[in-house]
Structure 1
């Protein structure tokens, strides 16, 4: 390849960890590469071959640098093969050399990567043989050239992997701690936390939970201007026919010179600490392989015992990746660990910056500092956040225990299984979510055990998500159930594009006695949602239910549309949502009854939010069984009654025990005594095996309307409730 071609522009696709794309684009620009466009987990750029070499040697963020050579149609295996076989592969694969094909992507015709890679390989080999040359060999482990094939929307991008290996592997880390950070992710955290600027201004660096030392080693390499690829013995382009050895040699020599010069100026203090002596031993070995002896210091020390000598700079960065807590017992200790971290930095490095990279960002509240910046990233497949704090009095706050969604750490054990849930949630957002938005519905069920692997109900509440885990059957062991819940908790925020703090997870169980009324937490976090012009107050954390039964939305809407000038009675009223709809719909007056003081107060708040006149729309605490058993007075006649009793209740505050299957004939007859001659009783319950008493159908006009009371988001679960319209016979 001549000098003109060296200077001409080529197109490269440079891959990176998800969430790092914009940082990578900025870095590649400094190498002389112009951004063409960003893509998920990568950046398309163009520039001379020299800049591609620089990316291989100097990129702290990239995974691979792929020289783009062509794009072919790939709507079928045959079309893919035809495109590949007509390319001039002798420009890119040495005669009598070896190659391998890496393949990513799939479509309806090319359903797995092995098939796609095989068709590409066949096309390359057949092209060589058609030219009369020898057949190149395929070497999956140590090829001369790696051909990259990436399928997207029926097009196959083909290129040469100039890196040859993932560039996150710098060559210094063969000893690893538990769940180590990849080197390029560590570099991204350092850049996001502002370490290059802090180091240039004379600041120092500390990682108080350093593990095998990745963060502190990457910080040292940045501060000393050491090329991350400097220790690599071989790159993927070195046997590529287009390789320019002289150009590459000059770049290697430049990197050595800059590494030498980097040690001549001020070297910041760089230290790592960890309470585990075994990982500190591994960190020392990594430091030696990186050539940073005498530059980076590590030692065994727990977070709460950390001390720094007076010689440390007045400015600097503390950056760390604390453990996430695999088990519930560990998670209970995380609050104390994060509090100890906060106490230590406030005591030892006031004026510094603190960065915490965590998969459980809710524990950031335990640090006792107010985070001024949060970056959403991924640690492998696990969603995580980088929280940044300024260690000063202005940022100080009282440490708080987090409200943790669920009792497991979000973590993906099977990417294939997690991808199934991710794809289903995104599909449901495109269908159910779009339907809800068009209807003006802010709260809806997005997913209801659509797949047996994930037995969850996932409800959207105007930007927040309520996850209910169905209790696993005895045939599913607890470990498997918790593993799948952990995967769901990792996938849901990413798939729905929400912050994890806006997700609440509970286990859904059969409600007995007063379970429905008992507090599960004490967050006091109420917020308003909207439904067909009504404003309703909900709480996702403190009770088994949220204050709004989403499956009864069509019933409430029907009441709103038919309540004008009617007297409305809401028995077992819960938080009074149906009464709100009746009042907004123009009901002349209403009475709502429930035995719970909590829900009576909640119902009063809901009515007040909608400016209902409390004199016309009354809410009373009452045992509905006892109230119905009383002889009705003249003013207790209603035109529209809604009765949705619990399946079973044995509350001490009730006159007796309620069993809806046994007791419903009496309840219906008593409610009908209070119904005007041309009025309507809407009777509903959610007992799966419920059967309406035959005698009621002979006494009254009874029409089951269950099918009409199920909106699109509950059509997968037609047994969520049953509903009847009951009238007096003419």
Structure 2
């Protein structure tokens, strides 16, 4: 069989794993490429890659490389290829085009010129031309432009191979199947399984890692249940080879289940995703092999029949706000403690977009791999679960408070000048607006990764986590410089500067209290008085970035019935009451914040009979059917990005759950009312189906005040109304 050239694509960071994998299929590596590899082999090896690759996205059979210095050269090059040996004359095709150069800057234009060349090649030969089919074509043509050369090929896969066919639920998928397979390879699962080990994912979500681990250990081809591949209507297809490969895959799957089957156990505290996991397991044909159940990570215990050796691999969540990230440190700590107790002697692998939490696990990581979850940089951390690797998470230099000290006067002068400039422009603006609290500096300079907020004569400083590339001592030295410069420039007593550093604490201290001073102060915003606490909590009780939203509520609340969901300390409710709202209801799950909100309303003279604050799980409250008297003219909903509080019935993931929350909130909105929906998740994407159900207007730009314009992605905000 003649040798062919293939380009096999994969997720970024997986190229070297893919090169090792495809050589087992009979392909020989030619060279690595970003997000793919070039290889040579016979057609059977290409088919085998489509059927068996756990890492590939697409398998493209290389047809030709043509000049693409300009559009005419590209067209002539495509025209000169014998497409009649690939595409049926009465069939259909589509073109996917990637890349650009100085002459061809638009991929749609590039794709169109390739289509023109293919169609005209049939016309020039006097043959019937194929039709163009954007969906479900007989043949998919791949065109990849690099500099002035265009690579043309036939997409043998026809679709991205990460789609195995077992995951059909709609929604944002946290982990693609081929990335899950890459994590399993990096974690050493094939070797552990071969040695008789078992597999556990204590935060399994919809079960992708479990299913991929089972298919890998049981020798099940990932493409075994695919409906079709891109080569099946390609004119060069050799059905007898493909049939033989499919029969081999069936035989190996049957034999794999007859050998020792490891234990595959998954847990998650969200019953909704466990229900989805069971459906995925059934579609993958792994019922009776993979087991999942509802269980929080803290109650994960060892099974009676588990092996002495195994792998724990999981992909925990991570937060966006400083407070949420601090809360999640508790989750990572609980994961470490539970795994150390339940499965000593096993290996643990944690895939995270927030690798700084790795130290909260309490084990030394022996290996770290840099990968990407989509476009998001992430790391896979490997641990051996052994007492010899145990560590106590702590700041290596926490012998005492950081003392203000300038080590580099030139560097400190840069910060001094920036603060002076910001204070002059923002201070004048804030005074004219009647704003008592505002952000004067937000990591403007990479050397000083701080958020500096003024609170009517006092200063609240939060230190952002430094990347691993920054030496810890250097980071502390710069913080000491900042603590020396800030009081000087802002004209405050050093005792009135509160700095919150990265400190790991146990239990509820992580996300509730850092201190217990009980020191509250009253600040003012557009005529409203609000209590804040700069010392005891990670957040102060007042989210400064939402100031324009609160003011909008104040100026539009007169005579309105106002509902504040996830109300925190009730600042928006205060603005509504001061603005003349006829009544309001504010809900939050935290007793601390409920009491705080009541105090804020009382401070502004609000009638407690008309402006009520209640402790409630907003998820459960919204799920209830509203009564006629539970209708509101104005609703404000700013949920956390993620929450797994023990007081909640479920787990809140704002990306996954926001559409349901919005629909439930709209049931409580009057016909001409307004829902203000906001969140701080940087990669948030609003569910497109909401646009057809409601009148949706994004107003994020108008809700970013002058002191946050350096960071316009701090939050996003929408106005949502019922359709007329």
Q: TM class by shorter-chain length?
A: 0.5 to 0.7
Name the structure 2 match of 1:100: 94
Query: What is the rounded CA distance, in whole Å, between the counterparts of 2:124 and 2:464 in structure 1?
Result: 73
Contact 1:176 1:212 in 2 (8 A): no
Offset of 1:537 from its aligned partner?
6.7
Q: How does 1:363-378 map to 2 (within 5 A)?
A: 363-378=357-372
Name the structure 2 match of 1:349: 343
Offset of 1:310 from its aligned partner?
2.6
Name the structure 2 match of 1:506: 450
Q: Does 1:15 align with 2:13?
A: no
Cα shift readout 1:443-494 (whole Å, capped 9, x = no counterpart): 999xx9xxxxxxx99xxxxxxxxxxxx99999xxxxxxx9xx9xx99xx9xx
Q: How does 1:427-446 map to 2 (within 5 A)?
A: none
Contact 2:448 2:482 in 1 (8 A): no
Offset of 1:538 from its aligned partner?
6.6
SS in 1 for 2:316: coil
Name the structure 2 match of 1:261: 255
Name the structure 2 match of 1:604: none
Name the structure 2 match of 1:315: 309
Q: Does 1:170 align with 2:164?
A: yes
Query: What is the rounded CA distance, in whole Å, between the counterparts of 2:83 and 2:284 in structure 1?
Result: 38
SS in 1 for 2:449: strand
Query: What is the rounded CA distance, in whole Å, between the counterparts of 1:102 and 1:540 in structure 2?
Result: 52
Offset of 1:512 from its aligned partner?
11
SS in 2 for 1:263: helix
1:528–1:270: structure 2 CA closer, same or farther, 3 Å change rule? Answer: closer
Name the structure 1 match of 2:181: 187
Size of the aligned set, in residue pairs, is 462
1:200–1:140: structure 2 CA closer, same or farther, 3 Å change rule? Answer: same
Name the structure 2 match of 1:533: none
Contact 2:205 2:273 in 1 (8 A): yes
Contact 1:519 1:543 in 2 (8 A): no
Cα shift readout 1:520-555 (whole Å, capped 9, x = no counterpart): 5999x99899xxxxxx97746625749999xxxxxx
Name the structure 1 match of 2:616: none
Q: Which has the higher contact order (CA 8 A, sep 6+)?
A: 2
Offset of 1:180 from its aligned partner?
2.3
1:527–1:172: structure 2 CA closer, same or farther, 3 Å change rule? Answer: closer
SS in 2 for 1:542: helix
Could you tell me which of 26, 34, 40 is aligned with 1:46?
Answer: 40
Query: What is the rounded CA distance, in whole Å, between the counterparts of 2:62 and 2:2 in structure 1?
Result: 14
Length-normalised TM-score, structure 2: 0.59
Q: How does 1:20-35 map to 2 (within 5 A)?
A: 20-35=14-29
Contact 1:177 1:279 in 2 (8 A): no
Q: Does 1:159 align with 2:144?
A: no
Query: What is the rounded CA distance, in whole Å, between the counterparts of 1:56 and 1:186 in structure 2?
Result: 17
Q: Does 1:273 align with 2:267?
A: yes
Runs of 5+ consecutive residues of structure 1 not aligned to the other structure? 1-6, 404-442, 449-455, 458-469, 475-481, 493-501, 530-535, 550-571, 575-594, 598-730
Q: How does 1:230-629 map to 2 (within 5 A)?
A: 230-400=224-394, 505-507=449-451, 539=476, 542-543=479-480, 545=482
Query: What is the rounded CA distance, in whole Å, between the counterparts of 1:72 and 1:93 in structure 2?
Result: 19
Name the structure 2 match of 1:220: 214
Contact 1:221 1:227 in 2 (8 A): yes
Offset of 1:112 from its aligned partner?
1.0
SS in 1 for 2:365: coil
RMSD between aligned residues: 4.0
Offset of 1:399 from its aligned partner?
2.9
Contact 1:209 1:320 in 2 (8 A): yes
1:541–1:278: structure 2 CA closer, same or farther, 3 Å change rule? Answer: farther
Q: Does 1:82 align with 2:76?
A: yes
Contact 2:452 2:459 in 1 (8 A): no
Contact 1:20 1:61 in 2 (8 A): yes
Could you tell me which of 96, 101, 112 is aligned with 1:118?
Answer: 112
Contact 1:175 1:212 in 2 (8 A): no
Contact 2:50 2:223 in 1 (8 A): yes
1:184–1:546: structure 2 CA closer, same or farther, 3 Å change rule? Answer: farther
